[in-house]
Amino acid sequence: MSGQAAKSEYLIRTRATLIGINTDLNGEVLAEAGIHVRNGVIAAVAPFDSLRAQYPDLAVEGGPDMIAFPGLVNGHHHSGLTPFQLGVPYGPLELWLPQFRGMRYVGHRLDTLYSAIEMLESGTTTVQHIHPGLVGDTDNWTDLSDKVIGAYRDIGMRVSFSFMIRDRNQLVHEDDEPFLAGLPEDEAAYWRPKLAASKAPITAYMDWFEAQKEAWAKADPQAVSWQLAPANLHWCSDDCLAGIFDTAQRTGSKIHMHLVETRLQAEYARRTYGKSAIRHLADLGCLTGNLTLGHGIWADAEDLDLVRECGCTICHNASSGLRLASGVAPVNDMLQRGVPVCLGIDQAGINDDRDMLQEMRLVWALHREPGLATFRPSAGHVFRMATEHGAATTGFEGRIGRLDVGKAADIVLVDWNDIARPFIDDRVPLVDALLQRTRQMPADTVFVAGRKVVSEGRVTSIDRNAVLEEIRTILTSALTPQEREAQDRTAALLQHMTCWFDARYRQDTRRAYRFNAIAGQS
């Protein structure tokens, strides 16, 4: 890693340190705390004065106005430049995703660095990167993963890398060839090889995954984890899922799978299997403790009981569900059942950026059901989603998510003066103040494995302005003929897909999770 050299041992001074969230969902807070970091690990959390007396010669980071808390975890992330920035308006998922095929691309490294800058500067130290898919041969796959992972390593983030696997239905809810056969011949001829390049035999994916997982376990086990990502039920046949879950079991790998993100996805499962998507996974033996389900917006009570019984985690992506009109996940029902919930920002948060603390505020507010004694998530619930529960889904569990002795020194410092200006009553718990009062991109200083990767609110190990300027230069250049054709072909494709979905899924008024439904209505 380039940039500022890491000190092997130092102290961090704070006004208060949020060690983590306890079983009562309150913040474990030590006032006037110091953190002793040695070789990237937390050696002690104790009153600063006592640590300073014990180690008078160690350098001191932080200061008397700093608040420390564990590095946050973005449990569901795909790519860098947002679709909105690249000209794709937000809309229903089924007709939003195909428009990506006409977007410009700045390359794997620049794209990754862009979102990593935003994540680090807002206190996210670990990311579950779910790449949209692999194209071409294994050399292309390796080049992609090396550049994406390399960018995270250079900027200083931990990454759990995965790639979305599909073996069917890449465009609509039927296999590719029947749909292509209904297109004008020139359009079908354009898309057929592109779709073919995005599919490989499941055995090829699994062999490559195992080789890469083993290689990275040797190269950088502390900062890089690998897991599997079957894209979604309508994109994966039962044989495909069997191959993925068998590989995960054999290699001790985690799995992150999108599921019932939209009403149409839930309807597809009912039509195809005569049961819910989650019930189908359970019947296949795929609901296991190493599985995280992304979204889960259209899960019902029976589904959530199955998830709880099987020990799965659900990753809640609140901004994504709102932006794409997918709905609001039944998070309160999940929490009341004891289902672990983590948080993801997905393609972008509500401000079209990757500010996890802002996403946390949205989650807290979104699930405040009316009523004097109604269950609602507390600040403790939300912080645990973004720390411990997120950590448990990444492959770094047990090492990150709390500021306990022996855990990695993934630490975020924010300035209490920015939070409290001009005043916060002493009765306000620290975890609540952090959740409600932090400003956009609030991190003053961020450490990952003890290395300072953000200082005075800016990443330290890359030239952020040079990255942003390089991206701007690429995207303000004239479109190439290939890019222009991709945009035109994608616009035409979208019309055909719209007609396909309109013909097969009628509009209805069912609601997944509405707080203020009139009595007697669902």
pLDDT, tens digit (0-9, with 9 covering 90-100), for 99-135: 999 999 999 999 999 999 999 999 999 999 999 999 9
Q: Higher model confidence: residue 2 or residue 317?
A: 317
Torsion of CA 214, 249, 306, 172, to 10 degrees: 70
Cα–Cα distance between 348 and 416 in angstroms, integer? 27
Q: In percent, how much of the chain has pLDDT > 90? A: 94
Q: Which positions ≥6 away from 162 have C-beta within 8 Å?
A: 128, 129, 130, 131, 226, 227, 228, 229, 256
Q: Residue 392: is its pLDDT beyond 70?
A: yes
**Residue 446's pLDDT band (boundaries 50, 70, 90)?**
very high
Cα–Cα distance between 172 and 161 in angstroms, integer? 27
Identify the pLDDT of residue 440. 86
What does residue 359 show for φ and ψ, rounded to 5 degrees?
Answer: -60, -40
**9-70+407-459: CATH class:** mainly beta
Identify the pLDDT of residue 81. 97
> Which bin fits 346, alpha (ψ -120 to 50), beta or left (φ > 0)?
left
Instruction: State the amino acid at position 325 in one-letter form.
Output: A
User: For 72-400+463-467, CATH number?
Assistant: 3.20.20.140
Average pLDDT over residues 318-331: 95
- The SS3 of residue 313 is strand
Q: Residue 493 belongs to what H/E stretch?
A: helix 481-504
**pLDDT one-digit tens code per residue, 163-174:** 999 999 999 999
Look over the chain and give the mean of its residue pLDDT values, rounded to a whole number.
95
Q: Which one-letter DSSP state was computed for residue 162?
A: E
Identify the pLDDT of residue 314. 98
For residues 263 and 510, the answer to whether their CB atoms sit within 8 Å is yes
Q: Residue 11: is its pLDDT beyond 50?
A: yes
Q: Residue 296: is its pLDDT beyond 70?
A: yes
Give the total residue count for the chain: 522
Residue 198 sits at the vertex; the CA angle it makes with 172 and 146, to the nearest 5 degrees, is 135
Q: In percent, how much of the chain has pLDDT > 70? A: 96
Q: In whole angstroms, how far apart are CA 123 and each of 280, 403, 491?
A: 38, 14, 38
Identify the pLDDT of residue 3. 39
**pLDDT one-digit tens code per residue, 194-227:** 999 999 999 999 999 999 999 999 999 999 999 9
Question: Structural domain boundaries of the chain?
Answer: 9-70+407-459, 72-400+463-467
**Residue 441's pLDDT band (boundaries 50, 70, 90)?**
confident
Cα–Cα distance between 509 and 326 in angstroms, integer? 13
Nearest Cα to 466, choosing from 87, 149, 6, 3? Answer: 3
Nearest Cα to 168, choosing from 238, 96, 265, 243? Answer: 238
Calculate the CA 346 to chain-centre distance: 5
Identify the pLDDT of residue 521. 45
Q: In whole angstroms, how far apart are CA 376 and each of 10, 47, 224, 359?
A: 40, 34, 35, 16
**Residue 1's pLDDT band (boundaries 50, 70, 90)?**
very low
Q: How many CB atoms lie within 10 A of CB 131?
A: 19
**Residue 143's pLDDT band (boundaries 50, 70, 90)?**
very high
Calculate the CA 412 to chain-centre distance: 18
Q: Does the CA dihedral 279-281-283-288 come out positive or negative? A: negative
**pLDDT one-digit tens code per residue, 368-389:** 999 999 999 999 999 999 999 9
As beta bridge partners, residue 414 has 67
Residue with tokens 């044989």: 239
Q: Where are the alpha helices (DSSP H) in 166-294?
A: 176-181, 185-197, 202-219, 238-251, 263-273, 277-284
Identify the pLDDT of residue 2. 38
Q: Higher model confidence: residue 442 or residue 128?
A: 128
For residues 317 and 295, the answer to whether their CB atoms sit within 8 Å is yes
Identify the pLDDT of residue 517. 52
Cα–Cα distance between 245 and 43 in angstroms, integer? 38
Which string of DSSP letters, residue by residue, matches 38-71? Answer: ETTEEEEEEEHHHHHHH-TTS-EEE-TTEEEEEP
**pLDDT one-digit tens code per residue, 398-408:** 999 999 999 99
First and final CA of the chain: distance in angstroms?
A: 54
Helix axes 277-284, 301-310, angle to 10 degrees: 30
